[in-house]
Amino acid sequence: MSAEYPFQTQIQVRFNETDLQGHVNFGHYLFYFDVGLTGYLSAIGYDYRRILEEGADLLFVESHCNYKARAYWPEVLEIHARIGHLGNRSLRFEFMVRAKEDQRLVATGHIVAVTARRGTFAPCPIPDSLRQAILAFEPALRQSG
């Protein structure tokens, strides 16, 4: 685990994620980021089901990926995740992907999510319980906010 990224999970590249050039097709990195995001939420004790139970929803409004090096089947990749920004109704999840074997940096990126009321998608603030779970997991965010 990286000191900068408090959450890490692993994923093994599957053959069907590679393209004719023999490396992971660019589109799959957003799926890897989503694995990191959902794992992060589970690690803080706040999975997606809980968000819905509290009457909120997360809408992904932006995603970005910087490709740094190729990854190949059947490599194991480490997906590191953190919160880069915790606003009133937006969260910026940031990711770093490294190859487990040699620790080369494969990709970095982010997903921005906004909170909305479940069912209506009307804007709403981040639930206090989610904010507190994030701050407990990443206390350094208290100083930056």
Please write the tens of the pLDDT for every residue from 45-76: 998 899 999 999 999 999 999 999 999 999 99
Please give the model's pTM, rounded to 2 decimal places. Answer: 0.94
- Per-residue pLDDT at 143: 74
Question: How many domains are contained in the chain?
Answer: 1
Q: Answer whether residue 1 is part of any domain.
A: no
Q: Answer whether residue 48 is part of any domain.
A: yes
Q: Answer whether residue 99 is part of any domain.
A: yes
- Per-residue pLDDT at 128: 96
Percent of the chain with pLDDT over 70: 97
What are 11's two structure tokens?
């994923």
Please write the tens of the pLDDT for every residue from 64-115: 999 999 999 999 999 999 999 999 999 999 999 999 999 999 999 999 999 9
CATH code at position 84 = 3.10.129.10
- Domain of residue 136: give its range: 7-144
Q: Answer whether residue 2 is part of any domain.
A: no
Average pLDDT, the chain: 95
Q: Answer whether residue 78 is part of any domain.
A: yes
CA atoms within 13 A on the CB side of 83: 26
3-state secondary structure the chain: CCCCCCEEEEEECCHHHECCCCCECCCHHHHHHHHHHHHHHHHCCCCHHHHHHCCEEEEEEEEEEEECCCCCCCCEEEEEEEEEEECCCEEEEEEEEEECCCCCEEEEEEEEEEEEECCCCCECCCCHHHHHHHHHHCCHHHHHC
Q: Answer whether residue 67 is part of any domain.
A: yes
Question: From the CB of residue 84, how many other CB atoms can be counted at a distance below 10 Å?
Answer: 14
- Per-residue pLDDT at 1: 58
